[in-house]
Amino acid sequence: MSLRNDLSKHQVFLQRLTGTEYKSIMSYLEQLQKTAGKHLDANLADKELKQALRSVTKGMKDTAIQNMTDFAEYESKFSAKTISKYTEDALEAVDADKLKKALTTNNMAVNANVEKGTKKSLDTAYKQFAQRKADEITQVIKDGRVLGLAADEIKDSVAARVLGLQSTQARSLAATAVNFTTNLARTETLFANKEIVPMVICRLGDAFEHTDYCLGVADTVHELGDEPSFPAHYGCVSYTEPYLDE
């Protein structure tokens, strides 16, 4: 038994949670698809379609933020309980209000090129993703009309868009959001108990491949507050964990 093993096993739970969040995102993309289909059947104006799609995207963003807020509370309690098994003094979890504030005010890296340092809040990342999907579906419909496609053919084009590229992007967003929330909740918990665990170590998550940046910082030890921030890029699964001089 070791903290390293406990947190490694926890990664399996995080992968399942990522799958759940992905399904939640996809359910909203499918709602966008259905809304577009109803628009085509009723032959409504593009302005009415845009309004209908934006209503769906707001629901996507709000649901995601609530999901991650609930998860942050769970993760802080898990971290405090698990780490306490390997320290002389017990750690205390962070209260829900502080976690929610941190979740909505901190930014996460969303650019594959780490050096560019592009960051967005979780709220902005979901909002922009949802709005882009609505705009893309609207454009598919407009293009289909220009080409003289039948309504059913345009619906097929919209479905292909949702189940293709958008599906891949949804999975990446889910992984990034879950990793961001995990690291934020754990870091906030460690800061609240800094006198007990003042150091952290970087770890590679379970992925087919990693960026040069993540490979370069893997297994490096840092004072809490000076460590690399994960996710370091979109789709990043690297993370930090307490460093205990065992």
What digits encode the pLDDT tens for the residues 197-208? 999 999 988 777
pTM of the model: 0.89
Can you give the pLDDT at residue 113?
Answer: 53
Residue 117's pLDDT band, with cuts at 50, 70 and 90, is low
Flag whether 145 is in a domain: yes
Flag whether 202 is in a domain: no
Q: How many helices (DSSP H) and strands (DSSP E) are in the chain?
A: 7, 5
- In this prediction, residues 54-77 reach a mean pLDDT of 92
- Asked whether residue 21 carries a pLDDT value surpassing 90, the answer given is yes
Cα 217 from Cα 209, distance rounded (Å):
15
Residue 24's pLDDT band, with cuts at 50, 70 and 90, is very high
**Where is 242: in which H helix or E strand?**
strand 239-242
Flag whether 236 is in a domain: no
Q: Where are the alpha helices (DSSP H) in 147-164?
A: 151-163
Number of domains present in the structure of the chain: 1
* Residue range(s) defining the domain that contains residue 59: 3-196
Flag whether 43 is in a domain: yes
Flag whether 212 is in a domain: no
Cα 94 from Cα 152, distance rounded (Å):
52
- Asked whether residue 167 carries a pLDDT value surpassing 60, the answer given is yes
Flag whether 229 is in a domain: no
Flag whether 39 is in a domain: yes
